[in-house]
Amino acid sequence: MAGTAGRRLALAVALVCALGAGALAVPAVAHADPGPPSPAASPQAPAAGSLEAVHKQVEDLYRKAESATDDYNAANEQQRLQEKAVADLTRRVNATQQRLDLLRGRTGALARAQYRSGALTPPTQLFFSDSPETFLNGVSLARKGEQATRDLLTQLASTRADLGRYAKAAEDRRKTLEGDRKKKEAAKKEIESRLEAAKKLESKLAEKERERLRQMEEDRARQAQQTWLSSAAGKGVMNLKGSAATGDGRRVVDFASAQIGKNYVWGAEGPDTYDCSGLTLKAWAAAGRAIPRTSQEQWRQLPKVDVKDMRPGDLVIYFGDASHVGVYAGDGMIVHAPRPGRQVTLAGAGSMPILGVVRPG
């Protein structure tokens, strides 16, 4: 009986344990159910804090993409310059080769003439001439002939040296060109990677969260603009409200304003799409002035003016790495191409961190 009682107790304990384990396993089975969740189980909208984090990540990705776009544009510009240099050097090589062939032909003709005359030099031939008068008259011609021969040989040597120099320069340019192409391709891959990551991040948001994200961006820009307008620089700019733009500046603003609504596309210079520096490049081209292609080079090369003294047509450079630029339109506003997924638009000049202002003309 004791043995039987022991077995019954063990069986009872095992049954209780099994029931307990089953009860604990029920929620796991429910979570693993592949069927669609009930409305009550739908994911909640991101809290303000999490949406703020998404906003920061998205902005960071787009900023890095824009910085890579500047690298892409710089490499693209260098590639164009190198291609032109290679083409110019190739033309020089071809022209020099033709001249070398011509000079070789002349020296060959001279050598054949000497061979036919018994390989005697002109002075030797004159020495053996029968007539003293012929000898005297021929001395001057012989000297001229010798000088012409020396000049021909000098030209031949110089042309050979030119050909070698041009050929080496062309080869060096081709190597540089290949390096620029690789830089351009690397920048392109980085841009595409950053943009893809930003799109994936945004795609995870429901439509109303995307709208909230856009509203958050607008609110931040508006707050930054108000802060800037209350600063000394902003007040200085607004105090110049009545100052008229120069003729060039007005043409720049008119061109940029006419592009409002056109899509941002990285590396684009119009006429249907633009990136930020592509817009400023073409705006100043419309005023008859060529400026550097990238916002970083625009900042580095163009004359700088104090922010409080900027006037319509000036270029406002943004962020510490000079990776964004817009056209100052007056009244504290800029026209700029913001980023992928946006269009050329009018925005507050102080809606982003200003690095400085440049004036091409």
pLDDT at residue 3 in the model: 45
Q: How does the average pLDDT of the chain come out, rounded?
A: 77
Decide if 89 is inside a domain. yes
Residue 335: give its domain's CATH number: 3.90.1720.10
Q: Do 187 and 265 sit in the same domain of this protein? A: no
Give the dihedral sign, CA 27/32/38/40: positive
108 inside domain = yes
Domain C-terminal end among 201, 234, 264: 201
Structure token digits, residue 236 = 């200085």
Q: What is the pLDDT of residue 243?
A: 59
pLDDT of residue 357: 96
Residue 17 bears catalytic tag: no
CA torsion sign for 164, 165, 168, 173 is: negative
The pLDDT score that the predictor gives to residue 133 is 56
pTM of the model: 0.62
Any domain includes 349 = yes
Q: Is the pLDDT of residue 137 over 60?
A: no
Residues 121 and 252 in one domain: no
pLDDT for the residue 214: 81
Each residue's pLDDT tens digit, 41-74: 333 444 445 877 877 788 888 888 888 888 888 8
Mark whether 324 is an active-site residue. Answer: yes
In a domain, 73, yes or no: yes
Choose the catalytic residue: 17, 31, 55, 324: 324
Query: 226-251: per-residue pLDDT in tens?
Result: 999 999 888 888 887 655 677 899 99
Output the six-digit token pair for 62.
């787009």
Residue 308 lies in a domain: yes
Of 174, 201, 228, the last residue of a domain is: 201
Residue 33 lies inside a defined structural domain of this protein: no
- The answer, yes or no, to whether residue 355 has pLDDT greater than 70, is yes
Average pLDDT of the residues in 288-297: 94
Residue 280 pLDDT level (bands cut at 50, 70, 90): very high
Does 285 share its domain with 349? yes
- Rounded Cα gap, residues 149 and 107, in angstroms: 8
195 shares a domain with 68: yes
Has residue 15 been placed in a domain?
Answer: no
For residue 109, give every residue at least 6 positions away whose Cβ sits within 8 Å of its Cβ, in sequence order, or none.
none
Q: Which domain holds residue 87?
A: 48-201
336 carries an active-site annotation: yes
Q: Give the sign of the dihedral formed by CA 320, CA 326, CA 328, CA 332.
A: negative
* Residue 14 within any structural domain of the chain: no
CA dist 334 → 12, 99, 302 (Å)? 81, 56, 18
- Provide the domain count of the chain: 2
**Do both 249 and 333 map to the same domain?**
yes
Select which of 17, 31, 55, 336 is catalytic: 336
> Does residue 80 sit in the same domain as residue 179?
yes
Q: What percent of the chain has pLDDT over 70?
A: 74
Which pLDDT does position 52 carry in this prediction? 77
Cα–Cα separations (whole angstroms), residue 315 to 100, 101, 293, 308 = 51, 54, 13, 13
End-of-domain residue from the set 201, 228, 257: 201
- Tokens matching residue 115: 């061979």
**Pick from 142-151, 214-223, 225-234, 255-264: least confident:** 142-151
